């Protein structure tokens, strides 16, 4: 399996995420407040995205389109 181009993947997903699994501004603020620094923040966002993606994949609704 080839390496994923992170920025290209993000750009391609814009507007296609199911809103039930998207990241809200409120989520961002809560995660930011609970983080100890930039790296902790990034790790928490990664875990949040992974968990949301796993839930969406399980239900078969990762994308609207």
Average pLDDT of the chain?
87
Output the pTM of the full model.
Answer: 0.73
Residue 59 has pLDDT above 60, yes or no: yes
CA 21 to CA 48: how far, in whole Å?
10
Structure confidence by residue, pLDDT tens digits, 7-16: 998 899 888 8
Residue 43 has pLDDT above 50, yes or no: yes
Structure confidence by residue, pLDDT tens digits, 14-28: 888 888 888 899 999
Instruction: Establish how many alpha carbons lie within 13 A of residue 59's alpha carbon, considering only the half-sphere containing its beta carbon.
Output: 12
Q: What is the pLDDT of residue 65?
A: 45
């Amino acid at each position: 399996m080839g390496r994923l181009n992170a920025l290209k993947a993000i750009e391609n997903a814009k507007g296609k995420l199911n809103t039930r699994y998207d990241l809200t501004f409120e989520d961002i603020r809560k995660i930011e407040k609970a983080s100890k620094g930039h790296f902790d923040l990034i790790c928490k966002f990664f875990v949040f995205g992974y968990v949301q993606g796993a839930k969406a994949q399980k239900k078969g609704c990762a994308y609207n389109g």
